[in-house]
């Protein structure tokens, strides 16, 4: 960046540059401010953006912080899990301790904004990228699954009168400690064999799950959305799977297909750490939450899951790619900078347009009572 441009850009960017004179790259949240400012100015010029009056800024801040409550819950859960892993793994296991650090820094701060079609978007300063443990990553993954498979499934059903979709849970034997890795392989093989005996099944979306049971063995099972053409006999499906094992099947409600489909995917895709914690706290089962597992149990689970693809697709659903290339960050009005605070919530500092829309002001420039700003102000720096 050319230093002579600094005077025309946001004061916070120039502050950051002043405090980090040797940095070669702007961090996400600062870079997006720059971007936000450009967008904002463009929007003001084209009169697309309604400039919010200052009087409503407290409401906006409250609304944003309220919208962040579920995010805060996930961040808390992730931190608890990181503490647990930190405690149980060997001190010299550097890789896992690095993962613990990443989980602790995951989504602690960033910026949030709204797209013109009213979607809330975030740019986080750091993410852990561990979809098997992180409640945030798992949620993103679930949304990707829904984006990817929702339309193809609906299209399949609408294509022919004889096409239907079923939600099913294939259970098999529980596996004793030490046998989880083998169990995960077995059940997938068994499902493939089952599918071979059911040519009416034209496609499937499979999500594998492997929580620890109340008895301390592994309850490996599969959640599967089955796409079927023609007659599908539950009894026969159970016989082929093995009558001694449970196979639950239910037809996806055609009248409310989108909703039931999304619910089925959401439920299936939930990761073991989140699901077991929710169940344990709701007392729905006595199966232990992940953070109650022993060191051996956790290490076995982690090793068995490393490199294991828990989501698979078959037949007409095989090889489907996302039609969108991830989150597009064009056309975003950035509304606030967010920071996770020690009381377990996200704190929002609004990025506001003044009435002329030429300049951003920070909430905390108007209300000086926030500690972090008191601290910031005593540092030396440009205006
Ligand atoms: Zn994370």
Q: Measure 64 CA to ligand 1 centroid, in angstroms.
A: 21
Q: Measure 75 CA to ligand 1 centroid, in angstroms.
A: 8
Q: Measure 208 CA to ligand 1 centroid, in angstroms.
A: 21
Q: Which of 22-31, 190-199, 234-243, 332-341 has the lowest mean pLDDT?
A: 22-31
CB under 5 Å of ion ligand 1: residues: 106, 128, 134
Instruction: Please report which confidence band the pLDDT of residue 363 belongs to, taking 50, 70 and 90 as the band edges.
Output: very low
Q: Which of 73-77, 118-122, 333-337 has the lowest mean pLDDT?
A: 118-122
Q: Measure 87 CA to ligand 1 centroid, in angstroms.
A: 18
Q: Residues 276, 240: contact at Cβ < 8 Å?
A: no
Q: Measure 136 CA to ligand 1 centroid, in angstroms.
A: 6
Residue 96 has pLDDT above 80, yes or no: yes
What does residue 328 show for φ and ψ, rounded to 5 degrees? Answer: -80, 125
Q: Measure 129 CA to ligand 1 centroid, in angstroms.
A: 6
The pLDDT score that the predictor gives to residue 106 is 96
Residue 32 has pLDDT above 70, yes or no: no
What does residue 2 show for φ and ψ, rounded to 5 degrees? Answer: -80, 120
Instruction: Please report which confidence band the pLDDT of residue 16 belongs to, taking 50, 70 and 90 as the band edges.
Output: low
Q: Measure 220 CA to ligand 1 centroid, in angstroms.
A: 25
Distance, in Å, from the CA atom of 334 to the CA atom of 340, rounded to the nearest integer, reads 18
Residue 1 has pLDDT above 80, yes or no: no
Q: Measure 134 CA to ligand 1 centroid, in angstroms.
A: 4
* Domains of the chain and any CATH numbers: 3-116+331-378 (no CATH), 135-315 (3.30.70.1910)
Q: Provide the H-helix boundaries in 20-92.
A: 28-45, 57-67, 69-88
Residue 228 has pLDDT above 90, yes or no: yes
- To which residue do tokens 């070669």 refer? 24
What DSSP state is assigned to residue 125?
S
Torsional class of 319: left (φ above 0), alpha (ψ -120 to 50), beta (otherwise): left
Q: Measure 135 CA to ligand 1 centroid, in angstroms.
A: 7
What lies within 8 Å, CB to CB, of 302 at 6+ separation is 96
The pLDDT score that the predictor gives to residue 372 is 32
Q: Measure 286 CA to ligand 1 centroid, in angstroms.
A: 26
Q: What is the mean pLDDT of residues 191-216?
A: 95
For the record, the structure tokens of 107 come out as 């989504």
Q: Measure 130 CA to ligand 1 centroid, in angstroms.
A: 6
Q: Measure 74 CA to ligand 1 centroid, in angstroms.
A: 9
Predicted TM-score (pTM) of this structure: 0.74
Q: Measure 184 CA to ligand 1 centroid, in angstroms.
A: 25
The pLDDT score that the predictor gives to residue 143 is 87
Q: Measure 127 CA to ligand 1 centroid, in angstroms.
A: 6
- Helix-, strand-, coil-residue percentages of the chain, each rounded to 5: 50, 20, 35
Q: When comparing pLDDT for 250 and 260, which is higher?
A: 250
pLDDT in tens, 272-286: 888 766 665 555 566
Instruction: Please report which confidence band the pLDDT of residue 122 belongs to, taking 50, 70 and 90 as the band edges.
Output: confident
Residue 309 has pLDDT above 90, yes or no: yes
Q: Measure 128 CA to ligand 1 centroid, in angstroms.
A: 4
Q: What is the secondary structure of 322-353 as a DSSP string?
A: -SS-S---SSEEEEEEEEE-TTSSEEEEEEEE
Instruction: Please report which confidence band the pLDDT of residue 379 belongs to, taking 50, 70 and 90 as the band edges.
Output: very low
What radius of gyration do the chain's Cα atoms show?
Answer: 25
């Amino acid at each position: 960046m050319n230093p002579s441009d600094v005077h025309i850009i946001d004061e916070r960017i120039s502050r950051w540059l002043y405090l980090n004179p040797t940095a070669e790259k702007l961090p996400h949240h600062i870079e997006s401010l720059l971007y936000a400012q450009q967008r904002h100015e463009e929007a003001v010029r084209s009169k697309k953006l309604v400039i919010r009056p200052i009087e409503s800024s407290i409401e906006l801040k409250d609304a944003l912080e309220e919208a962040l409550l579920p995010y805060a819950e996930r961040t808390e859960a992730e931190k608890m899990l990181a503490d647990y892993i930190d405690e149980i793994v060997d001190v010299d296991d550097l890789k896992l301790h690095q993962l613990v650090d990443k989980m602790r820094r995951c989504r602690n701060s960033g910026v949030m904004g709204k797209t013109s079609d009213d979607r809330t978007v975030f740019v986080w300063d750091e993410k852990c990228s561990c979809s098997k443990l992180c409640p945030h990553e798992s949620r993103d993954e679930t949304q990707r699954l829904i984006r990817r498979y929702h339309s193809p499934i609906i299209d399949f059903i609408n294509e022919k009168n004889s096409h239907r979709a079923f939600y099913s849970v294939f259970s098999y034997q529980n596996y004793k400690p030490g046998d989880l890795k083998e169990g995960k392989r077995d059940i997938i093989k068994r499902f493939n064999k089952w599918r071979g005996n059911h040519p009416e099944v034209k496609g499937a979306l499979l999500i594998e799950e492997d929580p620890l049971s109340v008895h301390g063995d592994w309850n490996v099972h599969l959640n599967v959305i089955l796409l079927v053409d023609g007659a599908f006999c539950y009894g026969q499906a159970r016989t082929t799977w093995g009558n001694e094992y449970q196979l639950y099947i239910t037809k996806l409600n055609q009248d409310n297909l989108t909703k039931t489909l999304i619910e089925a995917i959401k439920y299936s895709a939930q990761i073991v750490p989140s699901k077991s914690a929710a169940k344990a706290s709701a007392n729905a089962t006595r199966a232990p939450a992940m953070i109650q597992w022993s060191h051996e149990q956790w290490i076995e689970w982690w090793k068995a899951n490393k490199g294991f693809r828990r989501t698979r697709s078959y037949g007409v659903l095989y090889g489907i790619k996302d039609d969108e290339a991830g989150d597009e960050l064009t056309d975003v009005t950035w509304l606030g900078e967010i920071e996770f605070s020690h009381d377990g919530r996200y704190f929002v500092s609004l990025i506001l347009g003044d009435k002329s829309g030429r300049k951003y002001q920070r909430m905390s420039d108007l209300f000086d009572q926030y500690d972090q700003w008191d601290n910031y102000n005593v540092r030396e720096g440009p205006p």
